[in-house]
Structures are given as structure tokens and as C-alpha cells.
Chain A
Amino acid sequence: MENLVTANLRARPTRTGISILAVALGVILMLVIGGITQGTLSDYLDRTVAVGADFILKPSDSSILYAFTSATLPVKLAQKVGEVPGVSVVAPVLSIFRASDFGLVFGIDPETYNRLPGRLRIVAGRESLEGFETIVDELYAKARGLSPGMHVRILDHDFTVSGICRSGAVVRVFVPLSTLQELSGSPDKATVMFIKAGNAAEVPRVFDELHARFPGYSIVRTSDPSLLLADTPMPGLKEFRFTVILVSMLLSFMVILLAMYTTIFERTREIGILKSLGASRAFIVGLVLKESAMICCLGVVVGIGLSLILREAIVSTFPTLQVKLSFEQMVTSCLLGLVGGILGALYPAYKASKMDPVTALSYE
């Protein structure tokens, strides 16, 4: 049995192709932008956890992400924190956001920082940092073709690469804490402090003790990404994701609305023929909806395929960028693409079903 829906789609290959691509674009938008957001966040959380600290001390009511952009903690506080029974390491860190490559630079004291379990694993060069020296991770080095002894421009200053560490460190670029304090005009200040308890059994007690002793600060547990995420308010992220989803859905909606609206006017006579054959309104509505559903399904499949290709292209072009495409995201984008398309087809379907058969049959 020939299928009128597929026959109609095949009869207008250009429009069908463009409609499929437009729906695919919505899916790509949803998956890739969502994937970059999710990938960056997950990567950041994973690497924060990989530092191996038990807690992060930061200014109260600040986000784990945005706190990294200002330096308000006095470095001297590290000494007081270190006096808390059970605390074995306190590593103050100053972070600066680099708009040039959308990443963070950490100012660290290698001696204290490397006492944390997630210490920098040097794969080339040395692990010491002095003056305008930097340690970068493998991905950053690969992306810029860096090797120890080479110069790299960071925060508008020339730095010499003293070492290259294994990827997975909390950020990709490390410079001496004192140098970064000087460059940022924040002497003796830090953004956060990574804290390690002496042993795992003491973590709850140390956590309570830190809370009691430093009530004006926020102490975040970092044992796993979900805990970190739960303690990390991210203003705007939800709204951003909602906007991306909305735009993607609107894209599917508008494309299908326009395509099907034009289609039913082009096929006015055909609708008249169907009505003369006794096709009910439900049959005609079903026909239009099936046609748009098929476009959406193909669009979603093409969109997912192109998103996977695009992810590979992004990751190979920008190795420091993470794009996370989860199964849940794919299912969500499929559903939203379909829902957007079906909603877009409702009005044209209704118009088609309401056509006067005699007028439709005489349509030229």
C-alpha cells in the first residue's frame, strides 16, 4: 500500500529537505549549546573534585563558579583554617577568568597545592613556579603547540612554560599565586581555599568544626560532583537552558507551521479530492500531522547525527572545550523537536480540514 504521507514528502524533495534541515538545526542548537554548557560545567565539577580536597572555603552566598572571579579571602585565613584540628592541607588559590580563551588561570603556591591528592602530575618540564612562569595542562599545550621553555601570553603578559601537567587538573593554566595577586591588584588575597582533612573518618567532624569556626564563610563539600552542584547556586543557568530549548522549539514550530501552511495551500485541490472521496476532517488533520511528524522525526535524526559530528569537530578544533551529549538530552531534544513540529502543524491541519470541498476542487 502506497503511503500518501511519504509520497507527498518525496514529491517535494527540496522543501522536505529544507524543513528537515531546519528542524535539525533546532535539535543541533539544543544539543550542542546545551552540550557545551553541560560539558563545561561537568568538566569543571569533575576537575574540582579531582583536586582531592574535602572542602572548599569561599565567601558566603557566592557560587562555586562566580566566586572564582573575585578575590576577597585574606590569605592569612589559611593559617587559621590550618589550625582546626583534623585539617591537614589548606591551599589558597586565586583565580582569574581569561576572556581570551574562556578559561581560568589559577594562582597557586605549588608547595601547598601539591600536598593535595590531586596534585599537578608533571609530564614534561618541572613543577616549580616562580615569577612569570606557568604550568599548563596537556590539552592546553596541545591546542597551542606549547612545550617547556616556550613563551605564552597570559593575561596580557608573557609567561614561560616551566612544565606541562596531565589533563584533569582543576584548571588548565597555573601561575604563581604571588604573580597573579600582583597582576590582579589583589595582594594577599585568594578566591577560594582547598582544604583536606587528615583522614576520611574525620571529614564530618572537620566540616562541622569549620562551620562553627568560620560562620561568615561558605564551606562546600567536594567529595563528588553532585554534592558540589547541590551546594552551588548557578544563577541564570536554568534560564539560559530554558531559552535555548524555547528557541529550538520555536524554530521547529515556525518551520513546520510555514512549511505545512504553504503545503496545504499548494495542495488545496488535493484536499478537495480527498473530501470528495469522503475523507473526514480527522483524516485530513491526521494526514497533515503525520506529514509534519515524519519531517520532525527525520529532522531529529539528522539533528542528532549532525550534533555528534559537530561535537567531534568542536572537540578536535578546540580541545579545551567539552561538549557533553547525554542520552537524556537526546531524548529531550527528540521530544521537543517533535512537540514543536506537531504544534506548528496544528493550525495548517485545522485550516485544511475546514476547507470547503467545492472551492478546493475548483482551485487552480
Chain B
Amino acid sequence: MESPGRRCIIETRNLSMVYRTGAVEVHALRDVNLEIHEGEFVAVMGPSGCGKSTLLHLLGGLQKPTGGRIFIDRIDLTSLSDAERTAVRRRKVGFIFQRFNLLPTLTARGNIELARRIHGNGHLNAYGMEEIVQMLGIKDRLGFKPSELSGGEQQRVAIARALINQPSILLADEPTGNLDSANSMQVLGILRELNERLGQTIVMITHDAEAASTARRIVHMRDGRILEPPRQLSFEPRMERCP
């Protein structure tokens, strides 16, 4: 039975990640404890190399941590095999990248449909496509390849691709890092709107304070650790404890 408060959708417990290169060990994450609830828009801020991208990759199941546990929608990612983590990512996570990461050989429509196809085990389901492209203002750009689109358009296509499968969590890795200020504002506005209007849970990595201020909560990181307790900016939903 669901409690009346907002569901904890992401939780990390003593999350650690150590990269080993020969005898050299690099501690990318050290005992990171983080809770993110359904409908939150959290910005993870910090300088380059502080471990924020590693955190995002771990939350998306792209990597397995060397220590600690990660729960995504109450599923313990750390106990899953690579194939099972892939399945969780497919069902629950949408990624947005700094470099857009659209497939260059496909058109914008092809990129969005591919995500749908992967999600639907090869069967295309057009549900939601029209609404999403309309909302992101890329309806008339769908027939173009990424090389024919502006940076802002490419990022909006990437957002559409991430949203097409209606993921529980949207993970954005420096989504404005390659955009000019006008396009950055537009993309951040879209993310904010997605969060406010649709209740989309968003975790955004950024080192830009202005971009981070779009989020409702900012988590600061340094040297692989979370520096201070999460600071609420404007929105204070009633939270439940993660299991």
C-alpha cells in the first residue's frame, strides 16, 4: 500500500565508486547517501571531477558501483545483472546528454522512434509521440538529421527521445553545456515545465549555478562526496522515507 506522501524513487546508501588503473585507485564517489522523491527536480552541482557524472551513470544503471547500494523505484540496482539493469534503465530511465548523443544516421523522428522501438522490444508504439514533439516545438524538424539541426533543436529532440517511453526518472548530464544562453534558457524552461506540469522526476548534473537554480533542490558535490544536506529552494512536498 502506497503511503500518502511522495514516493522515494531514488535512494543511494553509502554509494562508492573506485576506478582502478593498475596500482592507482581513484575514488570517484565516497559513501554517497541521497534520496530523491517522485516529482522532484534535483540539480547536482560541483566542479569537474567531483563525481557527479559517475553518480548519474550509476543512477542510470550504466555502471555497477564498487560499494553501497542504489534503489530505483524500490529496485536494488546493485543486486541486478547487467541485463537486468539494462531492463530497468529501459523501463524507468531517460537520459539527456551534454553532447545530445543523437544517432547521426537517423532523422530526428528516427532517433525518437528508435527509443520507442527499444523500449517496446522491437514493436513501435506511436502513443505520445505527437504530444511530445508538439510540446517541445520540433514537429516541423522531425525529418531532419542531427547535422541539419541547431544545438537547441538537437537537445529538444534528445529530450523527446528521453521522454517518449514515459520514464519515471529523467537523468540530464549537463544538458545546457553545449548550448548558447538562449537555447540553454529554452531547454531549462522545458525541464522546469516537465517537472511542474507533468510531475517528471529530474536529476540534472551541472556545474553552472544559473542552470542549477532552475531545479527545486541543489545537491553540492566535491571530491566524490555530497557536501551539505539538500537545500530546498521553493517547493516542499511531504516526503516519505525510502524503504
Contact = CB atoms under 8 A, between A and B. Distances in A.
A7 B110 contact: yes
B60 A10 contact: no
Interface string A119-133: 000000000000000
Given A11-B105, A283-B118, A358 B57 contact: yes
Nearest to A360: B62
Given A276-B60, A277-B95, A7 B118 contact: no
Interface string B51-73: 00000010010110000000000
A151 interface: no
Contacts, number: 76
B29 to A, nearest CB: 13
A2 B86 contact: no
Given A2-B110, A277-B118, A280-B87, A8 B60 contact: no
B62 A270 contact: no
Interface string A274-317: 11111111010000000000000000000000000000000000
A115 interface: no
A1 B57 CA distance: 30
B228 to A, nearest CB: 27
A102 to B, nearest CB: 50
B90 A278 contact: yes
Contacts of A1: 110, 113, 117, 124
B106 A2 contact: yes
A244 B196 CA distance: 68
A154 interface: no
Interface residues of B, number: 32
B103 A270 contact: yes
Nearest to A12: B105
Contacts of B105: 4, 7-8, 10-11
Contact of B118 (A269, A279, A357, A358): A279
A279 B86 contact: yes
Contact of B62 (A7, A276, A280, A283): A276
Q: Chain A interface secondary structure, helix, strand, loop or mixed?
A: helix
B119 interface: yes
Nearest to B109: A2
B154 to A, nearest CB: 13
A361 B69 CA distance: 24
B1 interface: no
Nearest to B58: A358
A273 interface: yes
Contacts of A281: 82-83, 86
18 contacts: A1-B110, A1-B117, A2-B109, A2-B113, A4-B105, A7-B103, A8-B105, A270-B104, A273-B101, A276-B95, A276-B101, A277-B115, A277-B161, A278-B86, A280-B87, A281-B83, A358-B57, A358-B63
Interface of A: 1-2, 4, 7-8, 10-11, 269-270, 272-281, 283, 356-358, 361
